[in-house]
Structure 1
Amino acid sequence: MADPSPIDIQKALGGLDYPASRDDLVKHAEDKGADASVLDTLKNLPDREFDSPTDVNKEASA
Protein backbone atom coordinates (compact mmCIF):
# COMPACT_ATOMS: atom_id res chain seq x y z
CA MET A 1 0.00 0.00 0.00
CA ALA A 2 1.39 3.38 -0.96
CA ASP A 3 1.97 6.04 1.63
CA PRO A 4 -0.75 8.68 1.61
CA SER A 5 0.11 12.13 0.31
CA PRO A 6 0.23 15.09 2.71
CA ILE A 7 -2.94 16.32 0.99
CA ASP A 8 -4.76 13.05 1.78
CA ILE A 9 -3.70 13.30 5.40
CA GLN A 10 -4.85 16.90 5.69
CA LYS A 11 -8.21 16.12 4.04
CA ALA A 12 -8.75 13.48 6.73
CA LEU A 13 -7.81 15.97 9.46
CA GLY A 14 -9.78 18.95 8.15
CA GLY A 15 -11.59 20.83 10.91
CA LEU A 16 -9.49 19.34 13.71
CA ASP A 17 -8.48 21.72 16.50
CA TYR A 18 -4.78 21.77 17.42
CA PRO A 19 -2.87 20.92 19.52
CA ALA A 20 -4.03 17.33 19.16
CA SER A 21 -2.71 13.99 20.37
CA ARG A 22 -2.04 11.05 18.08
CA ASP A 23 -5.24 9.42 19.35
CA ASP A 24 -7.19 12.60 18.54
CA LEU A 25 -5.79 12.55 14.99
CA VAL A 26 -6.74 8.91 14.47
CA LYS A 27 -10.26 9.32 15.89
CA HIS A 28 -10.93 12.42 13.79
CA ALA A 29 -9.71 10.69 10.63
CA GLU A 30 -11.81 7.60 11.38
CA ASP A 31 -14.88 9.77 11.93
CA LYS A 32 -14.30 11.42 8.54
CA GLY A 33 -13.98 8.06 6.78
CA ALA A 34 -10.26 8.22 5.99
CA ASP A 35 -8.83 5.34 4.02
CA ALA A 36 -6.64 2.63 5.54
CA SER A 37 -3.34 4.09 4.37
CA VAL A 38 -4.07 7.42 6.09
CA LEU A 39 -5.19 5.69 9.28
CA ASP A 40 -2.12 3.41 9.32
CA THR A 41 0.16 6.42 8.89
CA LEU A 42 -1.52 8.31 11.73
CA LYS A 43 -1.48 5.27 14.03
CA ASN A 44 2.28 4.95 13.50
CA LEU A 45 3.04 8.54 14.52
CA PRO A 46 4.81 9.09 17.85
CA ASP A 47 2.49 9.32 20.86
CA ARG A 48 2.71 13.06 21.48
CA GLU A 49 0.89 16.35 20.94
CA PHE A 50 0.94 17.83 17.44
CA ASP A 51 0.74 21.61 17.19
CA SER A 52 -0.35 22.05 13.57
CA PRO A 53 -1.10 20.27 10.28
CA THR A 54 2.47 21.02 9.22
CA ASP A 55 3.73 19.27 12.35
CA VAL A 56 1.70 16.16 11.45
CA ASN A 57 2.93 16.13 7.84
CA LYS A 58 6.55 16.59 8.91
CA GLU A 59 6.35 13.61 11.26
CA ALA A 60 4.39 11.46 8.80
CA SER A 61 7.01 11.91 6.10
CA ALA A 62 9.98 11.31 8.41
Structure 2
Amino acid sequence: MTDADERRVSKALQGLEFPADKADLIRYAEDGEADPRTLRALRALPEGAYQDSGEVERCVPQRPEQAPGR
Protein backbone atom coordinates (compact mmCIF):
# COMPACT_ATOMS: atom_id res chain seq x y z
CA MET A 1 0.00 0.00 0.00
CA THR A 2 1.35 3.40 -0.93
CA ASP A 3 1.41 6.48 1.30
CA ALA A 4 -1.46 7.89 -0.77
CA ASP A 5 -3.46 4.71 -0.16
CA GLU A 6 -2.79 4.97 3.58
CA ARG A 7 -4.02 8.56 3.59
CA ARG A 8 -7.18 7.58 1.69
CA VAL A 9 -7.94 4.73 4.08
CA SER A 10 -7.25 6.91 7.11
CA LYS A 11 -9.50 9.67 5.76
CA ALA A 12 -12.30 7.23 4.89
CA LEU A 13 -12.29 5.90 8.47
CA GLN A 14 -12.12 9.25 10.30
CA GLY A 15 -14.78 9.33 12.98
CA LEU A 16 -15.33 5.56 13.04
CA GLU A 17 -15.49 4.10 16.53
CA PHE A 18 -13.08 1.22 17.10
CA PRO A 19 -12.80 -1.67 17.60
CA ALA A 20 -14.50 -2.48 14.30
CA ASP A 21 -14.61 -5.54 12.10
CA LYS A 22 -14.02 -5.68 8.36
CA ALA A 23 -17.73 -5.36 7.51
CA ASP A 24 -18.01 -2.28 9.75
CA LEU A 25 -15.02 -0.68 8.03
CA ILE A 26 -16.43 -1.27 4.56
CA ARG A 27 -19.93 -0.11 5.48
CA TYR A 28 -18.57 3.07 7.09
CA ALA A 29 -16.41 3.86 4.06
CA GLU A 30 -19.30 3.17 1.67
CA ASP A 31 -21.62 5.42 3.70
CA GLY A 32 -18.96 8.12 3.50
CA GLU A 33 -18.76 7.64 -0.28
CA ALA A 34 -15.11 6.54 -0.27
CA ASP A 35 -13.55 6.21 -3.69
CA PRO A 36 -13.41 2.78 -5.40
CA ARG A 37 -9.68 2.38 -4.76
CA THR A 38 -10.14 2.85 -1.01
CA LEU A 39 -13.05 0.40 -0.94
CA ARG A 40 -10.96 -2.15 -2.86
CA ALA A 41 -8.20 -1.81 -0.26
CA LEU A 42 -10.65 -2.32 2.60
CA ARG A 43 -12.25 -5.33 0.90
CA ALA A 44 -8.79 -6.92 0.61
CA LEU A 45 -8.36 -6.90 4.41
CA PRO A 46 -8.29 -10.18 6.30
CA GLU A 47 -11.44 -10.89 8.32
CA GLY A 48 -11.24 -9.85 11.94
CA ALA A 49 -11.56 -7.01 14.40
CA TYR A 50 -9.32 -3.95 14.16
CA GLN A 51 -8.41 -1.84 17.17
CA ASP A 52 -7.65 1.41 15.32
CA SER A 53 -7.08 2.89 11.87
CA GLY A 54 -3.32 2.32 12.19
CA GLU A 55 -3.93 -1.41 12.47
CA VAL A 56 -6.18 -1.26 9.41
CA GLU A 57 -3.47 0.52 7.43
CA ARG A 58 -0.87 -2.07 8.45
CA CYS A 59 -3.13 -4.95 7.40
CA VAL A 60 -4.13 -3.77 3.92
CA PRO A 61 -2.17 -5.80 1.33
CA GLN A 62 0.59 -3.98 -0.55
CA ARG A 63 -1.27 -4.44 -3.85
CA PRO A 64 -4.95 -4.71 -2.93
CA GLU A 65 -5.95 -4.49 -6.58
CA GLN A 66 -4.21 -7.83 -7.12
CA ALA A 67 -5.62 -9.61 -4.07
CA PRO A 68 -7.49 -12.80 -5.03
CA GLY A 69 -11.22 -12.43 -5.41
CA ARG A 70 -11.23 -8.63 -5.29
Do they fold alike, i.e. is TM over 0.5?
Answer: yes
Gaps of 5+ in 2: 63-70
Residue in 1 aligned with 2:27? 27
For the pair 1:45 / 2:48, whether they are aligned, the reply is no
Residue in 1 aligned with 2:66? none
Identity across matched positions, percent? 32
The TM-score normalised by the length of structure 2 is: 0.79
Q: Which stretches of structure 1, 4 residues or longer, exceed 4 Å deviation after superposition?
A: none
Task: Find the structure with the greater CA-based Rg.
Answer: 2
Count of residue pairs brought into register by the alignment? 60
The TM-score normalised by the length of structure 1 is: 0.88
* Offset, 1:61: 4.5
Q: What CA RMSD, in Å, does the superposition of the two structures yield over aligned residues?
A: 1.4
Gaps of 5+ in 1: none
